Amino acid sequence: MLVFTLGCWQSAQAFTAGTSPPGGPETQLPSDVSNVKNGPEFVAAFANPSVRYLRISSPEVNVLFSDWGSGDFKPPLVLKRDIVIEGNPEMPYWPTINLRDAPGVVRMAHNVTMTVRHVFASGFRDNPTRAPGLDFLLPTLQGEIAYLLVGPAAGNISLCFPNDFQILDFGLLEQMGRPSMFPGRNEIRYNESQCWPQKTRVVDLAAEGADYDITRDMNTPNGLMIHLMNLTLFCDAVVDPKCLKKGEPLVCYLEARKKYLALRTLLLVVAGLLAVAGWRRCRQQRRGKVYEDSDGEGARCGAIPCRGDDDTKNVEPQKAAAPVIKRDEQTGVTFGEDHELHAVRHEQKLSAPAAAGLNAGKGADLPAREKSLDGGGTPKDAPGKKEPSQLLAAVADDEATEELKTIAPKNGDAVEDGSSGTEPPTVELLPVVLGKGGFGRVVEGLYGGRRVAVKLLASDVPFEVLQQQKADSMPNNFLKSFEQEMQACIAA
């Protein structure tokens, strides 16, 4: 499934390659053009009344919801001028713009036109609406009309209704009639060859825009006149047609969304762990293989000891043993500061997910937080399939209960308890911070002589949710935070 998803994403990117407009007068920058390369620049240019051409000049631009409130204005922003959002024609492919499903941050004034072209968009429509539109646009004021022109362009939607429902919606639009200001004939092509769950090509479609009103379970006009031309849409997932035959569309949509979010969480966790572990392993191999130090200091992985100095007989990871997490405890200081460390020891029974996501506070709160961890493990009679939380603890045995040992050396000397052959492999936390997210930091560690990334959670809530197999109810901001941290680790 992971390979399938990545392959489809690459195919979508290939779709945009080489499709930028040809050179000529259009490639010359007008005086009122603004090249943007990130979210804050996008919002600043959008709010600048002198900018009429907003040109995406970076391979990917992510516009966070917080970006819309970071300037001198507060949303909603009232757009009183015509504006063009387009990919830079000098790029070899259409850039990606992710609007992050920002809800209602812009309102178009009367008779204003917004044009979107030569971009691959995502995060622009994330609700049960079955009518064309953009989520970041609010309805116009009563009696006012604005215009939205899209294409040529492409984009992906996280969850779509199947083609049968799209054809039904298209029929309803046909009955309403094509707006007179857009002459021509509506044409949409379904079921085109694809590796995505669903792909639709809008050759030409003009219609009145509408947004979903959840209180009345119906679409309501939003005052936008929309014209789509040469627009290709990819779907990450499709609502189950069997459910739609016997249930309400909204109920089926919400059920499908629940399953989709759970799968997305699982894929995100697996992809992040595999990418980080693979990158760390390649980095270690470049530094050199495991060798015996000529001074007798013991086995090392590059410049980093694989195990404590007292145990150099076996540096290979032991079979299926529960890991022991060791960390250098620092009271009142942050990682990386040059202070004397004092030996502190804490022992606590932890489940596999808890060991993988060891709680971490700041400063003196660390010991107290570790003592308060809940020791609930995975029941032995649990279903056979792997939970996302078990995948997070990839180094742990499924039914094992871990012992957490927090041992901090004094004056830099390593401390080990029980160097017998039955000692489980250790996860040693290093004072190297790889990322700092809203739910806890990611630090570097050693496991079996290999560098790994260890997520230290400041809260048990996300892992409790995963253990209960309710990933769909996980806070969305946690998912985004975790994704950003994994991306930062990979790019480090």
Residues making up the binding site for ATP: 455
Q: Is the peptide bond before 152 cis (omega within 30 degrees of 0)?
A: yes
* Six-digit token string for 457: 């959670």
Question: Between the CA of residue 445 and those of 396, 410, 434, what are the distances in Å?
Answer: 15, 19, 10
**For the chain, how many residues are written?**
492
* Six-digit token string for 284: 């270690």
Q: Give 178-184's long-range contacts (Cβ < 8 A, gap of 24+).
A: 178/206, 178/207, 179/206, 179/207, 179/208, 179/225, 181/147, 181/225, 182/206, 182/225, 182/227
To which H or E segment does residue 40 belong? Answer: helix 39-47
Sign of CA dihedral 334, 335, 337, 338: positive
b/e map of 463-477 (b: 16 or more CB within 10 Å)? bbbbbeeebbebeee
b/e map of 361-381 (b: 16 or more CB within 10 Å)? eeeeebeebbeebeeebbeee
CA distance 420 to 313: 10
* Six-digit token string for 211: 């947004």
Pick from 289, 12, 357, 101: nearest CA to 300: 289
CA distance 416 to 364: 23
Q: Dihedral (C-alpha) 231, 237, 238, 242: value to the nearest 10 degrees? A: 170
Look-up: residue for tokens 């809530």? 461
CA distance 29 to 88: 10
Look-up: residue for tokens 């939607």? 157
Sign of CA dihedral 88, 91, 94, 99: negative
* Six-digit token string for 188: 């949409």
Q: In sequence order, what are the residues at sequence separation of 6 or more whose Cβ sits closer than 8 angstroms to the Cβ of residue 221?
A: 139, 208, 209, 210
